[in-house]
Amino acid sequence: MDVFIIGITGGIGGLLAQKLRSRGDTVHGLVRRDDQQAELATRGVVAHVGDLSSMTVEQLAAAFGDVDVIVFSAGSNGGTREVTTAIDGDGVVKAIEAAGRAGVERFALVSVLPESWRERDLGEEVEYYFAVKKGADIALSRSDLNWLILRPSLLLDGPGNGTVSLGPAEFHGEITRDDVAATLAELLHEPRIGRQILELNTGSTPIEEAVRANVRS
């Protein structure tokens, strides 16, 4: 499989690249700097230098080439409104259009559980982040692509457990980025899963089994 990751230098994107490479997949990504491109090359990843916020749809489509699937795991993590709009909102819409122009049908988006941190006073910037993420989910779900939206719980660092709870609706808890990346890698290798929103939390089901359980008959 040939996979293009937007957000390949991020926590989930970087781990996903490693897991896909270990499975023998070809991995491409988008980076902002030449030194990031050079570093990823040492790990067998073909990176394209460009800034998602300023690239045109045509430039992004050219970077995609003829890959099998695009993964969008970039995010502002509740930063300023300008950055959130450029990456989590307009960036996703641009990538959807670019995928169509490049003829890439499969598109996976790493989103966020809408219930995340509802017990807290998040502040206007973070609330705006959640609203923009929901808008991006809607835009992708209304596209003609073979899409997948994955909504993980609160993200943690550290090694994964290899077990999760995955389905159309999950409670909000916490989960390691490692388990998110492992689940996403497994989902990408299950072509029978498409045009679905799946939520992800820590759990007791082995990842491969959890993914298979979400295949529609």
129 noted as active-site residue? yes
Residues 6+ apart with CB under 8 A from 15: 177, 178, 180, 181, 182
Scan for tokens 């989930």, then name that residue: 12
H-helix segments, the chain: 11-22, 34-41, 57-64, 81-84, 90-102, 124-141, 177-188, 207-212
Give the separation between CA 209 and CA 192, rounded to whole angstroms.
14
Q: Which of 129, 133, 149, 175 is catalytic?
A: 129
What angle do the packed helices 90-102 and 57-64 form, to 10 degrees? 60
Q: Which residues are catalytic?
A: 129
